Chain A
């Protein structure tokens, strides 16, 4: 009986979490009449909204651009954050306190405050309207939180393991690459997930920086379905949003196993 209640609670929780996706699916499958008057479940499902979304907005190109930017951001953030987080976690200097304070403070700046200086700097380097520029901005924005996350993971790795490496003759870089990085796999995967998703969903920087229609990202494309005074083309927007979540879901599915196995291996080693 108790087990059944646990399963019931779990099912309710999963339904709660999955509701937005189900609502999106239901809405995407409704025809215009049902969108205006219907309930949650489409009575006569249609794929016309998917056709509308794809026809009106070049979702494939936009998704490709988003993917390039998100992967580039993730790679850049991991490459920069790993040694920096290691230094912050392992070295006790006054700089560490200042750096940590700066990481926290940087998170409270509203986007609109930082976008203008960033925009002017990027313009100087002709990186406005370029996916490389957008990748750099996303990386700058994601880096502090990634540093914060990785620092915690690194602090949890016993120093003894590194000291054993040093005794065997490994230098700092070797220790970082060959000993810390493998043990840090779950943390790196979690950080990569966070970075990737935040870049994939980012709207405002892309709106300001990207002007060439061939370089727009997915959130910009989806914004086409929202008009003045809160008008929304709900069916096309839901269909487009649903298609936009597919790469994220695939990424999660691919990476989740790695995250779980990493966590388990860490548990065994601990």
Chain B
């Protein structure tokens, strides 16, 4: 009986395999082309703006229809790793430049250079294009940028006698001084959500000339000297020497710390510029806040790690997908996305559109001004950077910022960890 059952099951399985269609999806050439666009838009207004853009495109292009799917920032890297290997990545991919560099080096992304118009190219600064150029190929169109800014409770600053700065930049020393003066037994001068510290440290490190890597691609080498360690050293000093930075905030996410900021537990917080949206919507009546000028070390530079739109090299519709990206890159479209996410448009015309639409209110003016300091960073051209970031840098920085290790240990872990990741 069992034998009969086994034979029947085997026959059914074989029949199933024989009749199942095998091989990659192919376009049968009939009907309109369908492009799959995976968006990572997060805030409700930017999701709505994305839908509007897709609807407008579909109305204008009956032969090339875009199907919108929603992805998630948390897992997009692992998702794309699998989909690139399997040849089923979406035709238009939303991601960020630091993440796509590795995919580009493996040849998974198409060169958009020949497809993008002069108008689109001239609107975006060269430093930002550099961040999405790999081996001479433009592997993505940059859409939105984020900078790290200082949000201040202006009432507390004024009560502590700290002059609200109006200069174009603000130094780390001035930040430390203001944090000390606004610290009281009930309140820390500064709160900083650094649960995932690497991106922040790498970006702000540029302001002290911290490059972290030399070379690019597979030949990159790590470099961790005084300039690279300056940002974590200053944060550590504020937390454990000055005691003007709440150490518990260092273990929290940016959003958690904003909750404390609104509750009056911190006079200032450092966070991504997009946090302004949360403050604008959730600040209680009478809570006065503003974005302070760009934070500067030896320069106010930060890493430009733009959100990007790319096309897989093996997409059967590279040209049409690039045309759709060109459509998305229109200033009014990028401005709508930027306002929805509270991020900085990569292109100047779109930035102008946001400034005109917002009047520079709710922190938009200093945030948009800070965009001029965003520039390409060496780590974005390093193939193994994402792995080093997750496996080495993040835990090492967490230990140091948690006062569990010292600066020489951090330096050693970052350096030796690179050898482990890169196999050197």
Contacts and interface: CB of A to CB of B under 8 A. Distances in A.
A123 interface: yes
Nearest to A121: B86
Interface residues of B, dominant DSSP: mixed
B69 A36 contact: no
A120 B146 CA distance: 36
B52 to A, nearest CB: 15
Interface string B24-41: 110000000000101010
B47 interface: yes
Contacts of A216: 70
B1 A173 contact: yes
Sort chain B's interface into a size bin: 35 or more
B254 A119 contact: no
Contacts of A37: 259, 262-263, 282, 284
A173 B5 CA distance: 10
B75 interface: yes
Given A33-B284, A119-B86, A128-B86, A228 B47 contact: no
A207 B79 contact: yes
Contact of A230 (B75, B79, B195, B262): B195
A204 B83 CA distance: 13
A125 B69 CA distance: 23
Contacts of B68: 213
Contacts of A229: 73, 196, 199, 253-254, 272
Interface in B32-79: 36, 38, 40, 42-44, 47, 67-75, 78-79
Contacts of A124: 22-23
Given A208-B83, A212-B69, A232 B88 contact: no
A212 B90 CA distance: 11
Nearest to B307: A228
Interface string B228-263: 000000000000000000000000011100110011
Contacts of A35: 259, 282
Contacts of A233: 42-44
Most chain A C-beta atoms within 10 Å of own C-beta, residue among B23, B36, B75, B193:
B75
Nearest to A172: B2
Contacts of A116: 81-82, 85-86
B111 interface: no
Interface in B1-16: 1-2, 5
Interface stretch (A4-12, A178-186, A218-226, A240-248): A218-226
Given A128-B86, A228-B42, A220 B72 contact: yes
Contacts of B20: 125-126
A212 B38 CA distance: 10
B274 interface: yes
Nearest to A176: B2
A231 interface: yes
A103 interface: no
A234 interface: yes
B2 A227 contact: no
Interface residues of A, dominant DSSP: helix
Contact of B24 (A36, A115, A123, A227): A123
Sort chain A's interface into a size bin: 35 or more
B119 interface: no
B21 interface: yes
Contacts of B193: 230
A81 to B, nearest CB: 15
Contacts of B44: 52, 56, 233
A208 B263 contact: no
Contacts of B186: none
A64 interface: no
Contacts of B283: 36
Nearest to A232: B255
A207 B78 CA distance: 9
Given A211-B36, A226-B73, A229-B272, 16 more contacts: A37-B263, A56-B44, A116-B85, A123-B24, A124-B22, A126-B25, A173-B1, A173-B5, A203-B75, A204-B75, A213-B69, A224-B72, A227-B42, A231-B42, A231-B254, A233-B42
A-B CB proximity, top 5 nearest? A227-B42, A36-B282, A230-B253, A223-B72, A228-B73
Interface of B: 1-2, 5, 17, 20-25, 36, 38, 40, 42-44, 47, 67-75, 78-79, 81-83, 85-88, 90, 96, 146, 193, 195-196, 199, 253-255, 258-259, 262-263, 272, 274, 278, 281-284
